[in-house]
Amino acid sequence: MSESVNIDGIAYDLDKLKSKWEAILSDVSSPEYQKDIWGFIKHWFDERDHIEVTTSGSTGSPSLKRIPKRWMSSSAKATAKALDLESSKRAFLCISTRHIGGMMMIVRSLEIGLSLITSAPVRKPIVDQKMDFTAMVPLQVKSILESGGSLLQFGTIIIGGAPMDSRTEKQLKSLETPIFSTFGMTETVSHIALRRLSGELATDVFETLPEVRVSSNAEGRAQVHIPYFDDLTLISNDHIEIIDPQHFLWIGRLDNVINSGGLKIYPESVEAKLADLVDQIFFIYKQTDSVFGEVSVLCLEGKSADEDQIKAAIRSIGDSKLRPKIVYLIEEFIRTETGKIQRALSFNQEKRRLF
């Protein structure tokens, strides 16, 4: 920890931090998000060498992970180096601290000395002063843009927790403020790579944090080597295309792949082709088929849809083998706390076949 920490405009040494978390946690009227923040700070300074973190559960049941505090400290410093964060700068915390992304915003402030301004993790966060660094989930970014709001006051923005939809990503390209998509998971202690979404430097390529190296195994799974995590190498279910050890393209999740008559279909790639042509929220999923084993299906959120628009969008996919064979309407998708669509749970709800 730096010599002192500034949270919501108040400077704290360790004794003052202890007094503050005791006051917040003992007061039944304290807002839940404040209890989460100060509860985490309390745990950060306890005698344990780790923090227990619950995964999002987007690809399975949520699970509890033990993350060494020294890894979290090293991750904070790596992000600071990549984004030029230093103690004179201000960070805005507006995401949940029940998951790794929000926890790491606190750790960055404690370890680097960033001045931290906190807010409830609402859909459309508001800040009344200029920030230098903010972490958001895609739903927050989308809500601000849809309401005609500006992202300038948030400073450099990192976006994680769920994929960014193509339409919002296109809007971000016209902005000059640095905005990045993140690649990572709970086990990598938040992100290990960043992809610029805004301005002339916008790219499809992820660049790893300093010292982190990536490769892929024979199955195409991402292998992430993190020297400052006790020389750890992690293998994920992400399919990536390696450019060099520090740069890669993300193709999709291997656990989402649809094997249709021997053809591997990556839902995320099909979704990208449809993104600008379908007005409502959707995802591609798989359904058992007696001939092909599995076929891809298009799931639309809502009670109705423009059939002509949907049919035209599907026809626009050049390779007919990649086209969804069935279209369903599902009234409301099931999402994680960070806004990520839970595909399997959503698909298994009551649905109506459109065509």
Domain spans of the chain, in order of start = 5-208, 257-353
List 91's β-bridge partners, or say none. 116, 133
pLDDT of residue 56: 63
Buried residues in 212-241 as b, exposed as e (16+ CB within 10 A):
bebebeeeeebebbbebbeeeeeebebbbe
Taking a C-beta distance cutoff of 8 angstroms, is the pair 314, 323 a contact?
A: yes
| From 50-54, 180-184, 221-225, the region with the lowest mean pLDDT | 50-54
How much is the mean pLDDT over the chain? Answer: 92
**Level-2 CATH architecture, domain 257-353:** 2-Layer Sandwich (3.30)
Query: Quick check: 57 pLDDT over 80?
Result: no
Closest CA to 277 of 320, 251, 316: 316
| From 103-112, 125-134, 265-274, the region with the lowest mean pLDDT | 265-274
Pick the CATH number of 5-208 from 3.90.950.10, 3.30.9.100, 3.40.50.12780, 3.40.50.300: 3.40.50.12780
- CA distances to 30, 112, 133, 188 from 74, rounded to whole Å, are 31, 11, 18, 11
Query: Quick check: 300 pLDDT over 90?
Result: yes
What confidence category does residue 141 fall into, taking pLDDT thresholds of 50, 70 and 90?
very high
Q: What whole-number percentage of the chain has pLDDT above 70?
A: 97
H or E element that contains 71: helix 69-83
Query: Quick check: 62 pLDDT over 80?
Result: no
Taking a C-beta distance cutoff of 8 angstroms, is the pair 245, 253 a contact?
A: no
pLDDT of residue 227: 96
- Averaged pLDDT for residues 284-301: 93
- CA distances to 7, 25, 288 from 98, rounded to whole Å, are 18, 15, 36
What is the CB-side half-sphere exposure of residue 217 using CA atoms within 13 A?
13
Residue 124 buriedness (CB in 10 A; 0-12 / 13-18 / 19+): middle
Start-to-end CA distance of the chain, whole Å, equals 59
pLDDT of residue 352: 92
Query: Quick check: 36 pLDDT over 70?
Result: yes
Same fold yes or no, 5-208 and 257-353: no
- What pTM value is reported for the model? 0.87
Closest CA to 36 of 89, 102, 88, 90: 102
Q: What whole-number percentage of the chain has pLDDT above 90?
A: 75
What confidence category does residue 93 fall into, taking pLDDT thresholds of 50, 70 and 90?
very high
Largest CA distance in the chain: 68
List 327's β-bridge partners, or say none. 298
> Tell me: the pLDDT tens digits for 3-29?
679 999 999 999 999 999 999 999 999
Give the position of tokens 């300093």.
Answer: 210
| From 67-71, 143-147, 212-216, 272-276, the region with the lowest mean pLDDT | 272-276
- CA distances to 11, 61, 288, 340, 346 from 349, rounded to whole Å, are 50, 17, 16, 16, 6
Taking a C-beta distance cutoff of 8 angstroms, is the pair 98, 299 a contact?
A: no
What residue ranges in 273-335 does DSSP mark as E strands?
Answer: 282-289, 293-301, 326-330
Give the position of tokens 């230093």.
Answer: 86
- Averaged pLDDT for residues 212-232: 93
pLDDT of residue 41: 97
- Averaged pLDDT for residues 260-289: 89
Question: Other CB atoms closer than 10 Å to residue 307's CB: what's the count?
Answer: 11
pLDDT of residue 255: 87
| From 30-34, 100-104, 134-138, 278-282, the region with the lowest mean pLDDT | 278-282
pLDDT of residue 2: 61
303's tokens: 């009670």
> Tell me: the pLDDT tens digits for 327-344?
999 999 998 877 788 999
pLDDT of residue 216: 92
Give the position of tokens 């619950």.
Answer: 54
| From 78-87, 128-137, 152-161, 266-275, the region with the lowest mean pLDDT | 266-275
State whether residue 215 is helix, strand or coil.
strand
Taking a C-beta distance cutoff of 8 angstroms, is the pair 113, 106 a contact?
A: no
